[in-house]
C-alpha cells in the first residue's frame, strides 16, 4: 500500500531515544498509512532491536560517516509518500500529530512546520537547553506564513525538494528552507502540529555540541566568501553575537508570556552556551568546518 506520509528520523543519540520515539509514532492514528524511515549511523544494537520490536519501520543502516543533514537527505530520497516529515530521535509525536501534518498539506502548503514543547522539566539545565534551542519554536506560534521555521518539526511535499542537488545533503535545514522560499514554495506554520522534545545531552555534552553546530553553520554560511568577509563575520560573532542571542531569547519569552521564571533562573547557564555558540561561529568563519558537521548529534 502506498503510504500517505513518510517520517524520516536520523538516529544519532542512542537506542533509548530512538525506541521511545518509535513507541510514540506507533500510537499515531491510521499508523498503517505512515511509512517510518530510521537512518541509523550508530554502531549499536538499535537496528536489530527496531527490526524486532517495530517490523513496520524501515531501517537504513551502515551510514556511519553521515552527518545529520546527510542522514535526512538519505531518508527523504528513500521516502515513498508524497508528504515527507522530518523529526529528531529525541522527539515524541503525540497522537494526532501525523494526522495534522497531512491535514495541513491538504490545504496546498509546500512546507509545514509546527511548534515544539518541552518534555524534559526535571532540572534547570533541561530548561536552559530547551529555551535556547527551541524557545522561538515553543507554543504559542502564530499560524500562517512565517519566516521562522522550526527545523525539528517540519514536513515537505516531496515534489518541491531538490533531491538531485547534492549540496543540500551537507547543509542544515535552514539553508534548504531558505532555498525553497526563494523558489516560491509556500511555507506554513501550523500551531496544532505540536511535537514534544526531550533533552538528549548533559551540560558538558551540550556545550560541545553547541560549539560544533555553530562552527558547522558558520562554515556553510561563509562558504565562498573572501577573507575580509570571514574576518568581519568572526568579529561580529565574538563581539556582538552573545548579547544578540540573549536579547532575542528574552524578547521571545516575554512575548510568549510563558516560562519567564525558568528563563530567569537559567540565564547564567544559557549565557555559557551562548558563548560556546559564539566561539564556534568565530572559528567556523575563520577556519571552516574542521569536521564539526559530522560530529554534531
- Encode pLDDT of 236-263 as tens digits: 999 999 999 999 999 999 999 999 999 9
Which residue range forms the structural domain that includes residue 193?
Answer: 5-197
C-alpha distances out from residue 165 to 162, 168, 169, Å: 6, 6, 8
Residues of the chain with pLDDT > 70: what percent?
98
Q: Which of 136, 108, 95, 84 is nearest to 248 (CA)?
A: 136
In this structure, the answer to whether residues 168 and 187 fall within a common structural domain is yes
pLDDT bracket for residue 47 (50, 70, 90) = confident
Q: Is 8 exposed, middle or buried (0-12, 13-18, 19+ CB in 10 A)?
A: buried
Q: What is the DSSP string of 212-241?
A: HHHHHHHHHHHTT--HHHHHHHHHHHHHTH
Residues with Cβ within 8 Å of 265's Cβ and at least 6 positions away in sequence, in order, are 124, 127
Distance CA 48, CA 52 (A): 6
pLDDT at 22 over 90: yes
How many separate domains does the chain show? 2
Q: Which of 259, 12, 254 is nearest to 121 (CA)?
A: 259
Asked if residues 214 and 275 have their Cβ atoms less than 8 Å apart, the reply is: no
Q: Considering 159, 182, 197, which residue would you say is the last residue of a domain?
A: 197
In this structure, the answer to whether residues 75 and 221 fall within a common structural domain is no
Lookup: cell for 195 = 511535537
Asked if residues 160 and 82 have their Cβ atoms less than 8 Å apart, the reply is: no
Q: Considering 159, 176, 197, which residue would you say is the last residue of a domain?
A: 197
In the sheet with 116-118, reading across from the earlier edge strand, the strands are 91-92, 195-197, 116-118
Q: Which of 77, 70, 85 is nearest to 6 (CA)?
A: 85
Q: Which of 141, 95, 99 is nearest to 116 (CA)?
A: 141
Q: pTM of the full predicted structure?
A: 0.94
Mean pLDDT computed over 2-12: 96
Q: Are strands 154-157 and 111-113 parallel, antiparallel or unpaired?
A: antiparallel
Mean pLDDT computed over 138-152: 75
pLDDT of amino acid 158: 97
Asked if residues 120 and 130 have their Cβ atoms less than 8 Å apart, the reply is: yes
In this structure, the answer to whether residues 186 and 209 fall within a common structural domain is no
Helix, strand, coil abundance in the chain, percent, nearest 5: 55, 15, 35
Where residue 24 sits, what CATH number does that domain have?
A: 3.90.550.10
In this structure, the answer to whether residues 29 and 144 fall within a common structural domain is yes
User: Which helix (DSSP H) or strand (DSSP E) does residue 84 occupy?
Assistant: strand 83-86
Q: What is the mean pLDDT of the chain?
A: 94
Residues of the chain with pLDDT > 90: what percent?
88
Distance CA 273, CA 204 (A): 10
In this structure, the answer to whether residues 225 and 174 fall within a common structural domain is no
pLDDT at 144 over 80: no
Mean pLDDT computed over 181-209: 93
Q: What is the largest CA-CA distance in the chain?
A: 56
Q: Considering 146, 164, 197, which residue would you say is the last residue of a domain?
A: 197
Amino acid at each position: 500500500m502506498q503510504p500517505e506520509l513518510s517520517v524520516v528520523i536520523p538516529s544519532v543519540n542512542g537506542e533509548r531515544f530512538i525506541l521511545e520515539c518509535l513507541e510514540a509514532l506507533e500510537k499515531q492514528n491510521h499508523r498503517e498509512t505512515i511509512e517510518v524511515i530510521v537512518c541509523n549511523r550508530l554502531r549499536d544494537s538499535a537496528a536489530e532491536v527496531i527490526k524486532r520490536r517495530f517490523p513496520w519501520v524501515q531501517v537504513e543502516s551502515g551510514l556511519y560517516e553521515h552527518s545529520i543533514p546527510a542522514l535526512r537527505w538519505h531518508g527523504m530520497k528513500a521516502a515513498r509518500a508524497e508528504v515527507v516529515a522530518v523529526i529528531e530521535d529525541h522527539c515524541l509525536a503525540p497522537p494526532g500529530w501525523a494526522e495534522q501534518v497531512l491535514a495541513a498539506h491538504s490545504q496546498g502548503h509546500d512546507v509545514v512546520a509546527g511548534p515544539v514543547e518541552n518534555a524534559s522539566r526535571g532540572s534547570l539545565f533541561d530548561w536552559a537547553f530547551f529555551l535556547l534551542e527551541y524557545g522561538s519554536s515553543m507554543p504559542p506560534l502564530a499560524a500562517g506564513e512565517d519566516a521562522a521555521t522550526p527545523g525539528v518539526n517540519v514536513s515537505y511535499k516531496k515534489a518541491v525538494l531538490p533531491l538531485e542537488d547534492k549540496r543540500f545533503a551537507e547543509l542544515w535545514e535552514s539553508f534548504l528552507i531558505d532555498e525553497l522560499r526563494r523558489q516560491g514554495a509556500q511555507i506554513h506554520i501550523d500551531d496544532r502540529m505540536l511535537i514534544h522534545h526531550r533533552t538528549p545531552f548533559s551540560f558538558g555534552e551540550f556545550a560541545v555540541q553547541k560549539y560544533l553546530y555553530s562552527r558547522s553553520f558558520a562554515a556553510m554560511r561563509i562558504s565562498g566568501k573572501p577573507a575580509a568577509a570571514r574576518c568581519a563575520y568572526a568579529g561580529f560573532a565574538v563581539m556582538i553575537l552573545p548579547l544578540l542571542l540573549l536579547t532575542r531569547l528574552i524578547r521571545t519569552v516575554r512575548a510568549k508570556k510563558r516560562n519567564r521564571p525558568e528563563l530567569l533562573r537559567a540565564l547564567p547557564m544559557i549565557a555559557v552556551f551562548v558563548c560556546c555558540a559564539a566561539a564556534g561561529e568565530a572559528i567556523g568563519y575563520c577556519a571552516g568546518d574542521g569536521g564539526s558537521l559530522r560530529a554534531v548529534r
